[in-house]
Structure 1
């Protein structure tokens, strides 16, 4: 591997020498005749700079070749122009920008620079802006993105969910926030991401393996959450976001402020949210054959609240910029009281039904702290980024003490662990990543390295997964070769190395062990000490081809994922599923091979894309149910153990948009996924949480008001979901269903501010249905009933850039 990596470096070095010829490029950026300071100017995605206080920018040395010059600034239209640099002379470009007017329509909203990034990528990439999230506001960020084909969420309750991309989730999908991999307790479906959706500026979704750039945990895809754009120089202001939901009485408020001088800036966001028990269109549900009546159709004890704080500050120079992101995300929520523990009957209905807004046990509290620094260097031809992050995730589950097996009937008073603390997890994570981008002729090279160290501690009277320490690192090289204006070739190579050390865990209570007729009391070891090392070399090749209205992208690659501590060392009752789970210390890493193609056609009225894919796992890791039952710890619960099997997956997504006129348009999004286990105990079956085929049809009419209001629209939605009859036992089949929705919105001009209003009515006809990717679907609990969602965004400005510019 070392020889291969050295050869790559030598090749890049010799290429740099052979293409040393360069040109100078400078210019001035104006807005209505006034210089625009601190505008971002970049040549392709390789050379970056910002304009000075007079609107002037300069690039000292750019190699000969064809480029695209971009100039962008918050609130202004993106400027782009193709350049041909072929002589060692000084090129000058004077650029006039215009104010940005945005019209929202369709499933995903893209700015020009985002559209170009999507077109040039060989991977299946979708980019959505914060306007899309506000327009489709859900209980969590992932629930706000579930209109995108191939993207779903494993939800528990109204405010918690995990991402699911093409049927893969948990540690198979990587979530990145502000450039750093988000690390929580992502192995569990019973809690959501510690992400504030109000703080998301732009979200990039990669469907399919993205390991060569993001790392091993992106074996199924990646969700990259970008921050809100930096404020203009010499400005001060902010926004207030308000939201309300009828189904669970949720209210949410988020305040954002910013202030910036010429180089320094400071931003802050404070988000609050509270909600009650959500309602379903059912009076009774059956929890494993036991009938549970619902008081006023409320799913008891699913209320919750959030308290989030985000701060960012930094210095923005021409050649050096450094930004700090600091956040604290807090969530407290209850679990459906009849579906947690060993016995659904042990519920105090008088207590839990007294109020729909209190949070009783069982419940969870999650606090996630994050500190991130991103420093960029622009050194002639090189754009270098160095990112460092620290995260601390603290999750606690609270419940009344329940003894089983040889646990004492009464909880000991001399134990340091409280009797109400069922489980807790404390994870500390340090990450660092360094990459360098530069251009040599028509080649844009990226070389990078990243490393991560994490330590997870456990506590509580119940045991499921052991404490562990893990580190992993990787090196990669990526070449983006623009053959001509129509063809771009991509190639990447990545090497990863990692190690996980699992700590031994023994029961805090003795068990009676009979040996040779003698009975002794022993503290049984539930998890033995494990130390495993993993390494893998992976690759990716691709092409993007756009000759005109027709376009094509294709990508072929491999990836791998280390098994996690739960898969290697679990040995306990999972109260959320009423099952006993056991890990396997001998599991090998998951490997994946995938081919992904996107074919499309576009003109002034229509845009259609079809994206078929094929995915092969030689050793997919899954949780396999057995006929055994555990009576020592699990009170007779069925035993599930982690196993591996050969799995094939294939399917397709389709997006189409047609404009009947400037005001009326239709959007169709559809998806299909098939997977099958080719070996192992469940040969011939699918894998869990496989979403059924579905289609979403949206009709939208844009109302052209002349004064006072803009971006006004009304729309209806129709979602059809097929039955999912291909399940892996003990999963249950889910029937087909159809849903209708309504949405409307407008932007009201009030003096010099614009107030954005969005209205949604979800599940318009209060339909009872089961979502196959929902956590509660396992106990046949229907999804949330009719829900009216109203959101409002009010911007405010204390100081404008134009006033400062006129005085300069």
Structure 2
């Protein structure tokens, strides 16, 4: 691998001759020039904007095929695949007005096409849209996507749920690499701050063909913020205030861009006290703090581009034990978690004429520490020994549970030259991972994991009777090897034994999808995909009390791969002023892994063990978006989502979200020149009762939440800034979400929360 990387840089060093450029003029349908249009080439990290005459230019473009995207608010997005083989290429673009949101290029799919061109329907949420929701965490913000929920522990910890599947069944990608930070735990958050993220893409359904094990339920793909356009510098300041938790989030970013080099850095600090429920009580020790630093550097020269990013995140998360001492303090009480995440990634492209090689390398370190409650130290009245007191403080600072997970990931894809309308790519993907324990307690043993996968996928497009058709298919093979050490852990009068294992798991996965434009207004998609998930370390090796769930959990060394097959059918009707969509899915799971009680008691907790059973999930998302003419300022959006999960033995699956209906009335406006892109919204989220529950759950009643939002871009003289105000749970409704881990203790979800945000870009 090291020699291969050296070869890439060697090739790049001797390819500094071509100085191609792309230029042109951008107009509307009346041939009027359009200024401030964003032109961006994702693959080479280059971008610019058109001037007052609609003119633009991009310099230092490599030979080969480059995708250019032309974005302008209120107009349809255009993407062009351009073959660059001359010094000066002129591309003139005419944009048409559009009432709906901009059509973006989707990065999480293999061929990086526009949303409207993809065989798979990928849900996307921009950073601006995320901030308008007033969410305090990234996981909470993405619940605004139909079919996506979260398993929450208070206001600080959230795990994404895609169509009823969660935990290790949902894979998270950030900076183009796989995120590995002990995602098997239900009380573990994402460990990613939303600052420095430009957009979020969600693949709903098996994506093992593209990403391997753990993508059985779907993928959450986080796109980092873009570098500044060429020869520009940018300083940004973002501040948010949360009334409910008395929380504050401050983020400062700096960008600088030259012709070949680009740099960015962003620092973020947030602090929240205990969240308040509608009874005006606070849930003790749900407070949390987060420090986040992101930086990146990009280089592009002719046939080679490289982007290196680093993210450090420190999260301190209180673990609540109910309603106790009432406080507005942000100082954490025990028990609490302190988690450090280091993520380093290198994203490289090598352009070889009509083909291209992508190489992604990543290294992550997750250091998770958990501090438990200690008894008060009562000093003996006859013992005035300061040394003894110092020893107590040292013991107090020791983490009872500490795990350090180190992961090296690699991903290489070769895009073959396009033959007619056929595109093909092949690749390899894998990781090497070690888990090491340092604390007195053991949740999972020391272990080594090695993954290797090889895959190929093809995309073929054609026109038939004015219909645009696309067929996409692929196949993949994966191998995972898990080796653990044997441990004996003394606990009270018992010795818990973690037996050593050496397991290998293999799997073939396939994918087949078809998209057709039945007419100019109607598009249909049908996708079949299979996925798999190898059992994780907790499921294989657990042997002790899991305090986050109040259970004694026993692992099962004989678990096999979970495998699933899903069919997904979608239909979209879209005109200039009305959009209607319906998505239906059926997901069959073989050997679904779940916990079941044994009837025994150990260490004062009921014993649960992992077993397997076939299961199925089915449901869908339905909705419309009305933008009536000539009321261009008015939007009415409505979505309904439902999912049912059952085992073949007749029992319902646990942690299945209740049916939800969301209705939003939104207006867009501007006031003279001082308020641009103004908006206001009122939304009603109706969550139905959940009665289809597993044998370990209780039913959840229905509830309705009313939310408000408004904001826009403000210009006062030479000062420009954007602002947003959101009010969540306006009526201070008492409710408990079915997926709240605090539901078992009868603890309410958050009451009214007013979030004020302001963002300066200098």
Give the TM-score taking structure 2 as reference length.
0.86
Residue 463 of structure 1 corresponds to: 442
Cα separation, 2, equivalents of 1:173 and 1:551: 28
Cα separation, 1, equivalents of 2:757 and 2:623: 27
Residue 749 of structure 2 corresponds to: 783
Cα separation, 1, equivalents of 2:161 and 2:366: 21
1:37, CA displacement in angstroms?
Answer: 14
Residue 440 of structure 1 corresponds to: 419
Q: Does 1:765 align with 2:746?
A: no
1:374-393 equivalent positions in 2, closer than 5 A: 374-393=347-366
Residue 299 of structure 2 corresponds to: 315
1:579-618 equivalent positions in 2, closer than 5 A: 579-618=551-590
Cα separation, 2, equivalents of 1:616 and 1:675: 10
What SS does the aligned partner of 2:188 have? coil
Q: Is the 1:422–1:460 Cα contact (8 Å) retained in structure 2?
A: yes
Q: Does 1:165 align with 2:144?
A: no
1:209-248 equivalent positions in 2, closer than 5 A: 209-248=206-245
Q: Does 1:120 align with 2:120?
A: no
Query: How far does the alpha carbon of each residue in 1:33-60 deviate from its partner, in whole angstroms, 9 at most, with x for none?
Result: 9999996559xx9x99989x96468786
Residue 544 of structure 1 corresponds to: 515
Q: Does 1:654 align with 2:622?
A: yes
Residue 640 of structure 1 corresponds to: 608
Q: Is the 1:74–1:231 Cα contact (8 Å) retained in structure 2?
A: no
Residue 432 of structure 2 corresponds to: 453
Q: Is the 1:401–1:420 Cα contact (8 Å) retained in structure 2?
A: no
Q: Is the 1:594–1:613 Cα contact (8 Å) retained in structure 2?
A: yes
Q: 1:756 to 1:401 in 2, by over 3 A?
A: same
Cα separation, 2, equivalents of 1:449 and 1:734: 45
Cα separation, 1, equivalents of 2:409 and 2:299: 22
Match of 1:487 among 469, 475, 478: 469
Query: How far does the alpha carbon of each residue in 1:751-789 deviate from its partner, in whole angstroms, 9 at most, with x for none?
Result: 455411111110111111111112212322110000001
1:120, CA displacement in angstroms?
Answer: 2.4
1:655, CA displacement in angstroms?
Answer: 2.6
Cα separation, 2, equivalents of 1:75 and 1:428: 42
Query: How far does the alpha carbon of each residue in 1:584-629 deviate from its partner, in whole angstroms, 9 at most, with x for none?
Result: 0000010001001111101111111100000001210111133222
Query: How far does the alpha carbon of each residue in 1:259-316 deviate from its partner, in whole angstroms, 9 at most, with x for none?
Result: 111111110000010110101124xxxxxxxxxxxxx501011111111111101212
Residue 325 of structure 1 corresponds to: 309
Q: Is the 2:75–2:97 Cα contact (8 Å) retained in structure 1?
A: no
Cα separation, 2, equivalents of 1:326 and 1:239: 19
1:487, CA displacement in angstroms?
Answer: 0.2
Q: Is the 1:724–1:736 Cα contact (8 Å) retained in structure 2?
A: yes
Cα separation, 2, equivalents of 1:55 and 1:272: 36
Residue 691 of structure 2 corresponds to: 725
1:266-285 equivalent positions in 2, closer than 5 A: 266-282=263-279
Cα separation, 1, equivalents of 2:702 and 2:528: 34
Q: Is the 1:50–1:57 Cα contact (8 Å) retained in structure 2?
A: no
Q: 1:278 to 1:371 in 2, by over 3 A?
A: same
Q: 1:371 to 1:89 in 2, by over 3 A?
A: closer
Q: Which deviates further from its counterpart, 593-602 or 771-780?
A: 771-780
Cα separation, 1, equivalents of 2:63 and 2:542: 58
1:480-629 equivalent positions in 2, closer than 5 A: 480-484=459-463, 486-508=468-490, 511=493, 524-546=495-517, 547-629=519-601
Cα separation, 2, equivalents of 1:244 and 1:90: 52
Q: 1:144 to 1:102 in 2, by over 3 A?
A: farther
Residue 401 of structure 2 corresponds to: 423
Q: Is the 1:502–1:529 Cα contact (8 Å) retained in structure 2?
A: yes
What SS does the aligned partner of 2:348 have? strand
Q: 1:36 to 1:263 in 2, by over 3 A?
A: farther
Residue 518 of structure 1 corresponds to: none
Cα separation, 1, equivalents of 2:243 and 2:64: 59
1:80-159 equivalent positions in 2, closer than 5 A: 80=78, 94-96=90-92, 109-114=101-106, 117-159=114-156
Cα separation, 2, equivalents of 1:97 and 1:80: 8
Q: 1:426 to 1:417 in 2, by over 3 A?
A: farther
Q: 1:760 to 1:41 in 2, by over 3 A?
A: closer
1:463, CA displacement in angstroms?
Answer: 3.1
Cα separation, 1, equivalents of 2:698 and 2:616: 21
Number of equivalent positions: 707
Q: Is the 2:441–2:489 Cα contact (8 Å) retained in structure 1?
A: no
Query: How far does the alpha carbon of each residue in 1:118-157 deviate from its partner, in whole angstroms, 9 at most, with x for none?
Result: 2222223112221111211311111111111110111112
Query: How far does the alpha carbon of each residue in 1:495-530 deviate from its partner, in whole angstroms, 9 at most, with x for none?
Result: 101101122110246847xxxxxxxxxxx3521001
Q: Structure 1: any 5+ residue segments left out of the alignment?
A: 1-24, 63-67, 283-295, 340-348, 403-412, 513-523, 797-808
Residue 674 of structure 1 corresponds to: 644
Q: 1:82 to 1:712 in 2, by over 3 A?
A: closer
Q: Does 1:716 align with 2:678?
A: no
Q: 1:400 to 1:157 in 2, by over 3 A?
A: same
1:421, CA displacement in angstroms?
Answer: 2.4
Across the aligned residues of Structure 1 and Structure 2, the Cα RMSD in angstroms comes to: 3.4
Residue 14 of structure 1 corresponds to: none
Q: Is the 1:541–1:556 Cα contact (8 Å) retained in structure 2?
A: yes
Give the TM-score taking structure 1 as reference length.
0.81
